[in-house]
Structure 1
């Protein structure tokens, strides 16, 4: 079954007993949850909708929620987020016996209950509970959507914002996000935020051009900063200066670039500390509330810079910021000196 079929059936109130929605495309999961909520009688929703923390829920609480009859509605919807029995790793709240009891219970979900598991990431497909869900309901991997669906979805979002944009620019915008790159962590939620930014800037009277897209694409700016820092770390002054000049020519201010470099290196310092404590990439992303893409890039950056080099660079940026604002140094000279100086520094 395709995602659009799941959406169609929810809207038509043609429900399965059990759903498992998982994967990295959180927008699709949250959109389905929104539709489940909208299917209920709004005036009685407090009685007929349970949203449970799957990392904390106990067996008796979960079974009680599932078995409770709906009140003045046809059904009750139980949504369990990040249920521990579906995820990899050790169990905290369920014994092996309780896991078996619950797996068997999935064979007998009441007709008046719709049970929805929402896992914001990967699941352990070897678990018996996953097999039970596949047998008695639907399990769907919310991964990146196809090129055609992505175009239609993006086009619709621009239209909803009453923005004038040609199909060629919609395609250019999609390409600029890097969404279609399998290794890129950019999601539909990120694309929606970028569309809102462009819509707010352009308004109803301005036609969106490639230049506007380039100017407002945060992802492009972030990627340029990553590239600039990478080149500095690799001691590649030629490419570092080139990308720096490109950013300035595209309208980025030197103080803005300094601020983004400053922010990125502060993130790198945080990540270095957490890595030293033994945390993995995913745990770091969750703790710092950052995308895994940013964390992975920051870890790569951290290998080319010692802590003392980073602190030294942050102090240089702070000092340069003061000198620029007080007319003591040209901004372009300050940032060119940063590139030149740290392209010569060796990691010891």
Structure 2
């Protein structure tokens, strides 16, 4: 299952008993946040959301928590980070517990990489409960870091994208599209347009709307003008300059995060 397929299912309120998030760290966090937001009622979050790290949790505590019924809510969510460090025996018991008839627990397993040759990981994959996170989503990481003015993170993501062979020209195109979306969101906020209408006009997925709204409020007219000018200059330099493309892109990110 892809990340987008997962979003489509939870938007329809179709939840799986188990999600195994595998792949790049930042995207896994996005997927985890989307799942928790969709499943857990904020009013009862303290009672129905438990997050464990595999190398720190006692197996009996983990199994007891997973087998508990939700309190004043439809479902309980149990998150196990770095699940590849969990003993396979414990993981199998956990999977068996969560898939027991009548249990209202959603188990979210998180790891950068797992060995699907081993049980119960092979079973999880066979059931279609794996959400594969790939580097194709990195552009969303980059624009998110830029929008939040996280310069060091943005430069790190940019470096990773360039190392993976991503085209500098395509990155500029995608950042430009992001900035145009921010402009449209700002216009909606200034005109006091309802949130749902802003979402419909911009095509932003509902799970990312709040982040766009927050970032749009942080963009002044001056910052947008600087950003558009920097994008135009970077595009021109890539086409007509002998400068190193990596240097051009790093300078662009630096200006966008100012």
TM-score w.r.t. length of structure 2: 0.57
1:78 to 2:78 alignment = yes
1:5-154 aligned at under 5 Å gives the runs 5-24=5-24, 26-39=25-38, 40-83=40-83, 86-87=84-85, 94=87, 98=90, 101-102=93-94, 104-105=96-97, 107-108=99-100, 110-119=102-111, 121-145=112-136, 150=139, 153=140
CA gap of 1:101–1:124, structure 2 versus 1, over 3 A, is: same
The runs of at least 4 aligned residues of structure 1 exceeding 4 Å deviation read 96-100, 153-161, 199-202, 210-215, 221-224
1:47 and 1:139 map into 2 onto residues whose CA distance is: 26
1:38 and 1:117 map into 2 onto residues whose CA distance is: 16
Compute the displacement of 1:108 (Å): 2.2
1:22 and 1:110 map into 2 onto residues whose CA distance is: 27
Superimposed CA distance per residue, residues 149-181 of structure 1 (whole angstroms, 9 cap, x where no aligned partner): 94xx489869978xxxxxxxxxxx9xx756154
1:273-288 aligned at under 5 Å gives the runs none
Preserved CA contact (<8 Å) 1:20 1:116: yes
2:224 and 2:97 map into 1 onto residues whose CA distance is: 54
Aligned length: 189
Preserved CA contact (<8 Å) 2:22 2:114: yes
Compute the displacement of 1:200 (Å): 8.3
1:158 and 1:57 map into 2 onto residues whose CA distance is: 32
Preserved CA contact (<8 Å) 2:81 2:109: yes
1:81 and 1:17 map into 2 onto residues whose CA distance is: 17
CA gap of 1:159–1:222, structure 2 versus 1, over 3 A, is: closer
Superimposed CA distance per residue, residues 71-120 of structure 1 (whole angstroms, 9 cap, x where no aligned partner): 1111011111002xx35xxx7xx4x755554454454275411100011x
1:103 and 1:212 map into 2 onto residues whose CA distance is: 53
CA gap of 1:133–1:70, structure 2 versus 1, over 3 A, is: same
Compute the displacement of 1:134 (Å): 1.9
Compute the displacement of 1:127 (Å): 1.9
CA gap of 1:70–1:209, structure 2 versus 1, over 3 A, is: same
Preserved CA contact (<8 Å) 1:106 1:136: no
Alignment match, 2:230 = 209
Compute the displacement of 1:123 (Å): 1.3
Counterpart of 1:32 in 2: which secondary structure?
A: helix
Flag the structure with larger Rg: 1
CA gap of 1:15–1:97, structure 2 versus 1, over 3 A, is: closer
Higher RCO, 1 or 2 (CA under 8 Å, sep at least 6)?
Answer: 2
RMSD: 4.6
1:245-264 aligned at under 5 Å gives the runs none
CA gap of 1:50–1:125, structure 2 versus 1, over 3 A, is: same
